[in-house]
Structure 1
Amino acid sequence: MTHDSGTTVPDEEFWDARYAESDRIWSGNPNVVLVREVADRAPGTALDLGCGEGADAIWLAGQGWRVTAVDVSGVALERAARHAAAAGVADRVDWQRRDLAASFPEGGFDLVSAQFLHHPGEVFRAGILRAAAAAVAPGGTLLIVGHAGPPPWEQDPEHTAEEFPTPEEVLTALALSADAWEVQLSEESVRQQTGPDGRPVERTDAALKVRRRG
């Protein structure tokens, strides 16, 4: 895999090094769209893809969900497990280190969440998201949220529109049967984020929520 440095390194090494750069990479708060779309649902089983430092999985567990949380970085997963223990929900989360391009958790889930699961080359991401859809149990939900474009502080000519698909493009790539699935949310929304220089910037996110008919 080729990363920003132009060198080719395994995902595990890249992300372990990225997480090792500081004690906390992300905010520690669950993603806003996840909270909004799931807060009023009865808890069941959830699969969190690309869980990072565990904020979403820990929030879900605190709501009563039993969570399988997956990431390629062992550094992130160790950190997430510590946070879960501190939050008192360690027994409700199964942390799994996986390269999703090579293996995928078995079983069916009432909720499958993919929050900002980006990767250079959307063939990779589309394949994982199709596997995610297949993991949704009857009556369950697939929630996908991603960036709709590169960050405003980054002027990288290697970025392409295909890396930041619209909700409609994500839905098309999933190739779901309209008879078997119901689209419940397809939107782009703007939120505030702190940039590298500490100043607030606007980011546009693309969200898709589909339900497998029971």
Structure 2
Amino acid sequence: MRVSDEDRIRWDDRYGQGDPPSDDDVALPAAFRPYADLFPHSGAALDVACGRGVLSVWLALRGLTVRGIDVSGVAIGAARALALRHAVAPRCRFDTVDLDGGLPAGDPVDLLCCIRFRDRALYPQMMERLAPGGLLAISVLSEVGGTPGDFRARPGELTEAFGALKVLATGESNGEAWLLAQRG
């Protein structure tokens, strides 16, 4: 069994438990709420590791056309159902994608989001996928205010990795690191 197969099974199990997302869950993640006015109202967005699609649906409600990708077919099913419930299914496309092979091919996007998923090998691809003026919103688990571990960013990792972009805002605390940056 490949690592991604193990991940898929683990995440399918996790997303298969519990209640589906509520209407209150459809929102911009807390770290980015003070910067909501920087998020575009139109164009194309890619939501990497989209989970149940709460951010994707928020973006579609805002006016973007969104492609959400995740390793879990269960999460993708929930994301599709959420988009239908909010009447934005025509603006959303959700696909099960093995990110071990990198980001799927596609056109440049005006917004790329990656919330609570960290794969340093994808960082260069994320920057390349942004259209000129495109916005990157990324949030990962962090060692800052948290415990060290394989899935946590070291202090300054996001700023260093995405230094070629214009950093608009960043933060590290309470076990989370986040960055909002724009391609010149």
TM-score by length of 1: 0.73
Distance (Å, rounded) in 1 between the aligned partners of 2:86 and 2:121? 33
- Residue 143, structure 1, aligned to residue 137, structure 2: yes
Amino acid in structure 1 at the alignment position of 2:85: A
Q: Which residue of 1 aligns with 2:115?
A: 115
Cα distance change on mapping 1:150 and 1:97 into 2, 3 Å: farther
Identity of aligned residues (%): 28
How do 1:1-214 residues align onto structure 2 when only pairs under 5 Å count?
10-24=6-20, 28-30=25-27, 31-40=29-38, 41-105=40-104, 106-118=106-118, 125-149=119-143, 160-161=148-149, 163-166=151-154, 168-174=156-162, 176-177=163-164, 181-189=165-173, 203-213=174-184
Structure number with the higher helix fraction is 2
- Greater shift, 159-168 or 107-116, is seen at 159-168
SS class of match (2:98):
coil
Question: How many residues were matched structurally?
Answer: 180
Deviation at 1:25, TM superposition (A): 7.4
Deviation at 1:209, TM superposition (A): 1.5
Would you say the 8 A contact 2:139–2:179 is kept in 1?
yes
Long gaps (5+) in structure 2: none
Deviation at 1:167, TM superposition (A): 6.4
Distance (Å, rounded) in 1 between the aligned partners of 2:160 and 2:87? 40
SS class of match (1:131):
helix
Cα distance change on mapping 1:96 and 1:114 into 2, 3 Å: same
- Greater shift, 64-73 or 17-26, is seen at 17-26
SS class of match (1:10):
helix
- Greater shift, 73-82 or 41-50, is seen at 41-50
Would you say the 8 A contact 2:73–2:96 is kept in 1?
yes
Cα distance change on mapping 1:167 and 1:112 into 2, 3 Å: farther
Distance (Å, rounded) in 2 between the aligned partners of 1:68 and 1:167? 30
SS class of match (1:88):
coil
Cα distance change on mapping 1:28 and 1:147 into 2, 3 Å: same
Deviation at 1:142, TM superposition (A): 1.1
Cα deviations across residues 125-179 of structure 1 (Å, max 9, x unaligned)? 1112221111101111111112224997xxxxxx6356322562123234x53xx
TM-score by length of 2: 0.83
Amino acid in structure 1 at the alignment position of 2:158: V
Long gaps (5+) in structure 1: 119-124, 153-158, 190-202
SS class of match (1:101):
helix
Cα distance change on mapping 1:102 and 1:109 into 2, 3 Å: same
Distance (Å, rounded) in 1 between the aligned partners of 2:46 and 2:169? 19
SS class of match (2:68):
strand
Query: In terms of Rg, which structure is larger?
Result: 1
